[in-house]
């Protein structure tokens, strides 16, 4: 019972179709509605062919809110205009957030975003610090997950005083999800050791 098929290159560089089932989407959105509570509105600035759009488009609608769409090819300037009025949720990549933050600091507009859900790339501490200068009170969440796990499978709520490090952690699993770091033999590695991430649960 497929909800959609979305194409991604992932880490291989070769395009492939990921088949996402209804149960996986339902699990992610049920968790997102509880964790993010997007009951007012969202701004959708990503393509419909990008899996992060699932969160910003459907979660507010499920919760009784609405979604505001940014025109194609207007992702930074259009989002800047939209963000200057009250908004509940924005799902955004670190690169996009960095560009938006630079524009916000350079111009007269101020951000009124309640929640930034950040994913798609490794999130650096410098990007977090940049946005803290733009809007100190905004809630920020680092969400990680390959396309096969429906948008995100782990999340990390970034504290207002984030410790200095190169990258922000990916956090802990969402509901009905298991995450393991295993060695080449499929055995759990000790804390702090390098391994490969294995993901299981309703989202896979």
- Residue 10: the pLDDT is 67
- Residue 163: the pLDDT is 65
- Residue 164: the pLDDT is 61
Q: Which helix (H) or strand (E) holds 78?
A: helix 77-83
Structural domains of the chain sorted by starting position, each given as residue range(s) with its CATH number in brackets: 23-172 (3.40.50.12780)
Q: Kindly tell me the burial class for residue 190, based on how many C-beta atoms sit within 10 Å of its own C-beta (0-12, 13-18, 19 or more).
A: exposed
- Residue 89: the pLDDT is 94
pLDDT along the chain (204 residues), means of 10: 86 84 96 92 88 92 93 83 91 93 88 94 93 94 94 94 76 97 96 94 93
- Residue 105: the pLDDT is 92
**pTM score of the predicted model:** 0.92
């Amino acid at each position: 019972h497929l909800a959609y098929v979305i194409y991604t290159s992932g880490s291989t560089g070769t395009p492939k179709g990921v088949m996402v089932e209804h149960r996986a989407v339902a699990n992610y959105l049920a968790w997102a509605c509880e964790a993010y509570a997007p009951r007012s509105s969202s701004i959708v600035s990503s393509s419909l062919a990008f899996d992060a759009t699932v969160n910003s488009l459907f979660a507010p609608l499920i919760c009784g809110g609405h979604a505001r769409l940014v025109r194609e090819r207007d992702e930074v300037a259009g989002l800047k205009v939209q963000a200057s009025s009250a908004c509940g949720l924005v799902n955004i990549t670190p690169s996009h957030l960095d560009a938006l933050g630079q524009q916000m600091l350079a111009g007269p507009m101020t951000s009124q975003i309640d929640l930034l859900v950040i994913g798609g790339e490794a999130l650096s501490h410098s990007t977090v610090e940049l946005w803290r200068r733009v809007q100190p009170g905004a809630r920020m969440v680092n969400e990680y997950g390959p396309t096969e796990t429906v948008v995100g499978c782990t999340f990390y709520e970034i504290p207002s005083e984030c410790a200095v490090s190169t990258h922000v952690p990916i956090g802990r699993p969402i509901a009905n999800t298991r995450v393991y770091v295993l060695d080449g033999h499929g055995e759990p590695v000790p804390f702090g050791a390098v391994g490969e991430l294995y993901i299981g649960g309703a989202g896979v």
